[in-house]
Amino acid sequence: MRSPSLSVAPLAAALASLLASPAFAQSVPATAAAASAADSAAERTPTDLDAVEVTRERIARPASPKFSEPLLETPQSVTVVPAELMQEQGVTTLRDALRNVPGISMQAGEGGVPAGDNLTLRGFSARTDLFVDGVRDFGGYTRDPFNIEQVEVVKGPASSHAGRGSTGGSINLASKTARMDQFTNATLSIGDDSLLRGTADFNTPLSDSAALRLNLMAHEGEVNGRDAVENRRWGVAPTIAFALGGDTELHLSLFHLEQDNVPDYGQPWVPASNNVLVESRDARAPVDRELYYGLLDRDYEKTGTDMATVELRHAFGDNVSLRNLTRWGESRRDSIITAPRFLDDDATTIRRTGKTRDSEDTILTNVTTLNAILHSGAVEHHLVAGLELAREESENRARTVGEEPLTDLFAPDFNDPYTDGIERDPVNDGDASADSIAAYVFDTIELSPMWELSGGLRWDRFEVEATGRDRNSGERETFGRTDNVVSGRAAVVFKPSDNTSLYAGYGTSFNPSAEGLSLNSGTADVEPEKSRTIEIGAKWSLFDDRLLLGSALFRTDKTNARVEDPSREEEGRFFVLDGEQRVDGFEVTVAGEITERLSVFGGYAYLDSEVLSSTDPAEVGNALGNTPRNSATLWSSYQLTDALEFGLGLQHVGSRYSNESNTRMAKSYTTYDMMIGYRINDAVRLRLNGYNLSDKDYVGTVGGGHYIPGAARTFMLSADLSF
């Protein structure tokens, strides 16, 4: 078994050596921008972070430079989850943070898709639509928020902004960066699920024109209500910023996250033809949620993620700025996870099918973005133009894993010895490389204080070469294809008042066959899927811009969905673009502060999904998989006194099917959370978080052959420290 290597260590050592050099600190000239930042540092508190989009103090804009307007004037549904909210809720994973966003539901990794942060956004898979600072991050792992300033969820087809994918939208994680004020924040947590967690955030100026920030995390814990499952991880993320003179800034950052977990693929759906559990056919198995079908003697999950980023920013006066970001990233996964399956239809015997993955994904990318404000007579233009270059590589080393020993559905023993062995299977190895280039331009035209027009185009060239086993001959072959696609957006915004905007927008997206760097004989000749959306909405900024309300009506059509070709069934799984899928929806969102003491964050989403056309007649008219019709989330906190604060929250997820066949349904559920915070003094605040207070037994994650129960009632006690 191969453990992830600590490839970040030499880079971190080199950075530490560089910072220790006296000549280094003296070589950076002071600038007016740095001095101004230092002067204003005293007015900021450690939690009032410059990049935060929605906090109790203000509503601004996403961190991405592709958004030139504040959220109020952005003609699209965008939800930003700020760091302050994540701290209040005691968030420890990206999945926890995304529970604040209606219209998102979690799914299990299956069908060649690795475990990790797999999710559905507005009815469509968003597994490859995760970004860090605007750079694609498609590795299969569980993301931890210890180095995240805010989570930005952009909804609706947005290939013009995000490139390939993004049918339902995209998710960007804005990283923490070095600043010119001095602070140290830390959080120590213990939980009744054997949780031990610590995070630390150090920021210090190094000179008049340089600052260093270091974020650290260590986490170990089980999952309440699930036997055997464990999560262990640690991370480190240093970043340093320099003012280079004039209006130029240089940001250097490293990121390392390593995990060693006991993974969980939950429990098996009961087959439709099972003659023993007749009342549970095509439903949850009638067992306690604690039962775990994996093998501690075999199952494991080791992942490692590294990133090294160089970002250069320069302002050409007040109206023009340039940003160039270069990143190398690597994501490694070595795992074997038991997927429990019924042995046959007339028994309760369970096969322990081993899902194995030994993979490495890398990316080297350079992104240049130009922002400019131009005037043409009485008309003002907010221009965004950019160029993206990327080289992505993926390698997956195949293995064979046995299914013994069998176990009983009602009495599995995760301590059973595993004797079948694990063997390399090089004939089924897969590797792929992709070269992509994209150019884009957006323009928001301010015709008058009441009217704005916006539009944008993006051209993508996506060239992939993949090697794998041919489905028919069994021989190893190399497959390749190149896609050139233009995506676009257009919208109009009407502002009847300074705090109100009404908008109508249209956008497109595309999903190439090799979207996840996987290509074979069944997909190599298939053109990209195309999607389009129409959205109309309204936004209101209230209470001196402390609260943002939003609402939207939308329709998303995937006009040529990829479906299996029944005429080539004997040859294997070949695909054609003969499907059509639709999601009609409505959503409302709220974020911010109602009074100085009362804050609120949440929303409701209604998704009416339907398979309009398919080569499988049984799917036509069905709902899309993992797409609940109703979902809602709400979190509210109240500052009762200067020392005492209360928070309450709920999450409702409607019933959803495991796939388009609509035979297996996970029932709807509602969970309730709480928080009690007490500030002892300026430096110490105690916080008690409770999750799933009613101890609801529910399906948290759906898969085709299995589901993963949600965690039982859990409590976590934390000490938030600020210096």
Q: How many domains does the chain have?
A: 1
Q: What is the mean pLDDT of residues 63-74?
A: 89
> Please, what is the average pLDDT of the chain?
88
Residue-wise pLDDT tens digits, 317-366: 889 999 999 999 999 999 999 999 999 887 899 999 999 999 999 999 99
State the CATH number of the domain containing residue 602. Answer: 2.40.170.20
665-666 and 119-121 as β-strands: parallel, antiparallel, unpaired?
unpaired
pLDDT (0 to 100) of residue 2 = 38
Q: 2 lies in a domain? A: no
Q: 52 lies in a domain? A: yes
pLDDT (0 to 100) of residue 109 = 65
Quickly tell me which residue has 């299977």 as its tokens.
425
pLDDT (0 to 100) of residue 382 = 94
The enclosing H or E element of 209 equals none
Q: 361 lies in a domain? A: yes
Residue 183 has pLDDT above 70, yes or no: yes
Half-sphere exposure (Cβ direction) of 680: Cα atoms closer than 13 Å = 10
Q: 484 lies in a domain? A: no
Q: 373 lies in a domain? A: yes
pLDDT (0 to 100) of residue 110 = 60
Q: Residue 449 and residue 541: Cα distance in Å, rounded?
A: 16
pLDDT (0 to 100) of residue 20 = 37
Residue-wise pLDDT tens digits, 130-142: 999 999 997 889 9
Residue 481 has pLDDT above 60, yes or no: yes
Q: 124 lies in a domain? A: yes
Residues 6+ apart with CB under 8 A from 120: 104, 105, 106, 107, 126, 168, 625, 626, 627
Residue 578 has pLDDT above 60, yes or no: yes
Residues 6+ apart with CB under 8 A from 567: none
Q: 1 lies in a domain? A: no
Nearest in space to 603 (alpha carbons), one of 627, 626, 625, 636:
636
Range of the domain at 151: 9-339+348-478+490-722
Contact between residue 73 and residue 493 where contact means Cβ atoms under 8 Å apart: yes
Q: What is the mean pLDDT of residues 598-613?
A: 96
- Kindly report which listed range (57-61, 550-554, 567-571, 618-622) carries the lowest average pLDDT score: 57-61
- Kindly report which listed range (61-65, 214-218, 614-618) carries the lowest average pLDDT score: 61-65
pLDDT (0 to 100) of residue 57 = 37
Q: Cis bond leading into 263, ω under 30°? A: no
Contact between residue 451 and residue 426 where contact means Cβ atoms under 8 Å apart: no
Residue 58 has pLDDT above 80, yes or no: no
Residue 48 has pLDDT above 70, yes or no: no
Residue-wise pLDDT tens digits, 370-382: 999 999 888 999 9
Residue-wise pLDDT tens digits, 233-288: 999 999 999 999 879 999 999 999 999 999 999 999 999 999 899 999 999 999 99
Residues 6+ apart with CB under 8 A from 527: 483, 513, 560, 577
Q: Residue 338 and residue 335: Cα distance in Å, rounded?
A: 10
Residue-wise pLDDT tens digits, 364-419: 999 999 999 999 888 999 999 999 999 999 999 999 999 889 999 999 999 999 98
| Percent of the chain at pLDDT exceeding 70 | 90
Could you give the 3-state DSSP secondary structure of residue 708?
Answer: strand
Residue 112 has pLDDT above 90, yes or no: no
Name the pLDDT band for 113 (thresholds 50, 70, 90): low
Q: 483 lies in a domain? A: no
| Percent of the chain at pLDDT exceeding 90 | 76
Name the pLDDT band for 518 (thresholds 50, 70, 90): confident
Residue 9 has pLDDT above 70, yes or no: no
Q: Residue 561 and residue 167: Cα distance in Å, rounded?
A: 11
Whole-model pTM?
0.89
pLDDT (0 to 100) of residue 64 = 85
Residue-wise pLDDT tens digits, 642-684: 999 999 999 999 999 998 999 999 999 999 999 999 999 999 9
